Amino acid sequence: MTVAHYQLEGTTALITMDDGKANALSVAMIDELSEALARAEKEASAVVLAGRPERFCAGFDLRVMMTSPEAARGLLGRGAALLMRLYGSPLPIVAACTGHALAGGALVLLTADVRIGTSGAFRIGLNEVAIGMPVPVLAIELARDRLTKAALTRSTLGAQIYAPDEAARVGFLDDVLPAVDVLGRAKEEAAKLGALSRMAFHASKKRLRGSTIAHILSSLDEDMLAIGRGE
C-alpha cells in the first residue's frame, strides 16, 4: 500500500500523505516521503507536501514507539533524518496543512518554507509533555527557529495545542484558508518560490538553517539515549 503519493504538476511535485488513517510517521511513511523527495529533487523546482482531508500528520507511529526503546530510537532516527532533509532541502517546500498536525506532524510543518493551513476544528502543536514524553532537542530547535519568542515556552514546556488561526499567530502556520482553497494556494506559493534561482535559494537556506541542522544532527544520538533513560 502506497502511503506517500507523488504527482508532478508542471514543475511542482505534489506529495500527498495518505495512509487511510491519521498519517502517522511510520517506517513506510518516512521511507516513501524520502523517496519522493529524492525524485522531486531530480525533476521539480518546488514541492507541495499535503495530507489527507482533516489529517495532515499525527506524528511518530506510537505502535512502534511503544514496542521497545530500540524500536523507538530507530524510528526517531529515521524520522529526524527526514525532517532535516525537509528543513535543508534545496527545493522550496510548501506545506498544505489539511487538518490535525500534532507532535511529529507539527515538526513537519516547522520544516516547511511556507505553511498554508485549513480553517476548522483542528489541533496543531507539540503535545509531548502532555503525554509524558520529553521534548527532544530536534523539536526544541525547530520550534526555536520558527515560533515566536513569546510562544516558545508554552508551545514546548507547556504542550500548548492551537487551533489553526492561533497556530498562525505563533508561527506553526503562515496563513489559514477554507479547505477548498488550501491546496491551490499552496501550489501558487510553490510556483512563486520555484521560479527563484535554485542556487541562490539553496545557498541562502544553508546560511539560514545550517547551524541548526548541524546542532540537531550532532546531538541526536545522545539526546535519544537520554530520552530512553527518562532524562
Please indicate, yes or no, whether the overall pTM of this predicted structure exceeds 0.85: yes
Least confident interval from 9-23, 60-74, 202-216: 60-74
Structural domain includes residue 33: yes
Structural domain includes residue 30: yes
Mean of the per-residue pLDDT values of the chain = 95
Q: What is the pLDDT of residue 200?
A: 98
Structural domain includes residue 204: no
Query: And the C-alpha cell for 180?
Result: 477548498
User: Residue 127 is which amino acid?
Assistant: N
Question: Who's near 74: CB < 8 A, 6+ residues apart?
Answer: none
- In terms of residue numbers, what domain contains 91? 4-181
The residue-averaged pLDDT of 218-222 equals: 91
Max CA distance (Å), the chain: 48
Q: How many domains does the chain have?
A: 1
Indicate the pLDDT class of residue 230, thresholds 50, 70 and 90: confident
- Report the distance separating Cα 42 and Cα 202, nearest Å: 15
